Each structure stands twice: as structure tokens, then as C-alpha cells.
Amino acid sequence: MDSKWNVDVLKPNPQQILKNPLQSIQDKIKHPVGSASLKEIVMEKGLVGKVCIVSSDSTRPVPSYLLLEATINELNNYGIHDSQIIILIATGLHRPSREEEREKILGKNLYGRIECVDHLATDMNNLTFLGKSKTEIPIYINKYYLESDLKILTGYVEPHFFFGFSGGCKSIVPGVAGAITIQANHSAQLIASENSRFGKYQENPMYLNSMDIVHITGVDFIVNVCIDEHHQITKVEAGALDVAHDLLVQYQMNKVFSPIKKLYDIVVCGNGGFPLDLNLYQAVKSMAIGEMGVKQGGTIISVNECSDGIGQEKFK
């Protein structure tokens, strides 16, 4: 690179990782925010037949196996057996998980031990219609989730290029929603909204629609984390969806974000490596970041491996 060039490197502020993430997650499950503890919720429900734990899919770099193992350890301690638990991978409209991806999501201590299924957004036989949202979005949700006595969401919170932030209600819509529901909420009109941007969520129409639907589907408990650029856990919250998610958003805003103080002629950006740059569809996220820092008429160079190609066939 020419030494005469004026180059700035913008990156997240450094974060301290948790020394014992598994124990930290279990501690938060025992001492949640905004809700009773998971043990108290189980005891209050009385007879719990089936538990559904929603997990991120392979396109997300969160160490799901830690969240799942900590949660299941606690459930086992409360008298819930492995045979009562199903892990539902929140694929949204993404492709189904490959077996090696599923093994990585569950980890060596859970893979082959706990029942695990992918959500299939286009399989109407595995969806239940719940009516329409306040904004007339048809609500189709995975049957495994709805028919469970105890509903738990796991995931991670980071900025999202049109949803504001990931995590929280995003595990339901788009995570385990039907294609009709997802497409209605991810419409071109809503994506074009000035409030459908990185870091905006309380005024974001897609986030608000998703929260409305969550209030209809129900959720008993969430376990969400923040991670650093090496995909290691830096912060964990558990408990009520809105409270836990808000705390992690505020952590991101206060501890991680770096301001873009000026606009540039050229912006070189990327998704941050595998699995975030798995395909071209996911790579669009880095282009949206580049847009925030480039001058009108400037150039965005988005660098992503895209080891899985362009994405789903329908995306082509």
C-alpha cells in the first residue's frame, strides 16, 4: 500500500473474555434478570413434558455448545431428562444444517445424546398458523416450539444490518417462523425504512413486528451472550427476553462500538471471517457497514471468502 495514502483502521474496542464461560452461563441461569430463575419456572409449571431449546445455526459464530450444555446441565439438575429435551436449530430461511455443522453446534457432550432438528420454514406440515400480527403479518411458527411446555431461546447479540441487533426475538422471527412470516417481515418496504439499520432496534419495524409475534408465541427464558472477534464469550445474560437482550445491547453500545468520525473515498470491509462470510448472501452485511463510512460516489471493497458460494439456489 502506498505510504502516501491516508489510511485509518477501524475495529471494535478490545473486550475481556470470560475465563470460565460454561460456569458463567450456569451462574446467570441461576441468577437471571427480569424473571424468576429457570429452576423456579420449572417448579411453577409443575408437570413439564417437553422442553424446546432454540439454537443458532451454522452461519452464526456463537459457541452454541456452551449455551446448550450449561442450560441442559441445569435442566438435568431440576429433574428434566435428556429424552424430554429437543434442540431446534433456528435456520430461518437458510439451508438445513450439515451433519458436521450440527455436531459443532451441539458439541461433543451433547451430540448424539439430545434430539436435534432443523427448522424448515417451507414445510407447512411442521408449522402452526396463529393468526395475524398487529401489522397483519401471517404468523406461522414451528410446531416443535409451540407444542413444548418449556420454551428457551439461546443466541448472541451483535449489530445487524437491517434488524438493528441480533439475538432475543430474532430466534423466533425469522429463526423458527414460516417462510410466509419471514418474507412479510423482511419485505423490501420494511428493509428500506430509515429505522431498519445497524444499531436501531426499539424503533425498528422488523424488530417491533418480531416482538409482537413473540408475545403471541410465548417464551419462558433466554440465554444470550456477546462474543469478541475470535468468537469467545465476553458477556452473558439470562432471564426475560426484553431485559436480557437490552442489557447486552447496551453492553455492545458502551463497550464495543467505535465511532466513524469521517467519511472515506475507499472503504475496505469484510464480515469478519468464517462462518460470517460463509456465502455472498451473508457478505451483504459488510457492504452495509461500508456504506456507513464511504463518501457519496466513493468505493466499497467487500472482502469475503464465501466458501459456500453465492448462497441458496433461490437467492441466485
How much is the pTM?
Answer: 0.86
Whether residue 117 contacts residue 89, with contact meaning beta carbons closer than 8 Å, is answered with yes
Please count the other Cβ atoms lying within 10 Å of the Cβ belonging to residue 315: 11
| 16-32: pLDDT as tens digits | 999 999 999 999 999 99
* Domain spans in the chain, listed from the N-terminal domain onward: 21-258, 261-316
Of the residues 94, 119, 186, 245, which is catalytic? 94
In the predicted structure, residue 1 carries a pLDDT above the cut 70 = no
Instruction: Give the helix ranges, DSSP H, for 78-140.
Output: 99-106
The highest-level CATH class for domain 21-258 is alpha beta
Q: Identify whether 230 is a catalytic site residue.
A: no
In the predicted structure, residue 124 carries a pLDDT above the cut 70 = yes
Q: What is the pLDDT of residue 57?
A: 92
Q: Identify whether 81 is a catalytic site residue.
A: no
Asked if the bond preceding 96 is cis, omega within 30° of 0, the reply is no
d(CA 106, CA 104): 6
d(CA 164, CA 145): 25
Grid coordinates given for 207: 424488530
Q: What is the pLDDT of residue 159?
A: 84
Across 44-53, 62-71, 263-272, least confident range: 263-272
Grid coordinates given for 19: 475465563
Q: Which residue shows C-alpha cell 417462510?
A: 179
Grid coordinates given for 219: 417464551
Question: Any residues with CB less than 8 A from the CB of 212 and at least 6 apart, and which?
Answer: 133, 134, 135
| 245-294: pLDDT as tens digits | 999 999 988 887 777 888 888 888 877 777 767 677 677 777 777 777 88
Of the residues 31, 81, 160, 186, which is catalytic? 160
Report the SS3 class of residue 101: helix
Question: Any residues with CB less than 8 A from the CB of 194 and at least 6 apart, and which?
Answer: none
Q: Which residues of 30-69 are buried (b: 16+ CB within 10 A; e: fewer)?
A: eebebbebbeebbeeeeebeebbbbbbbbbbbbbbbbbbb
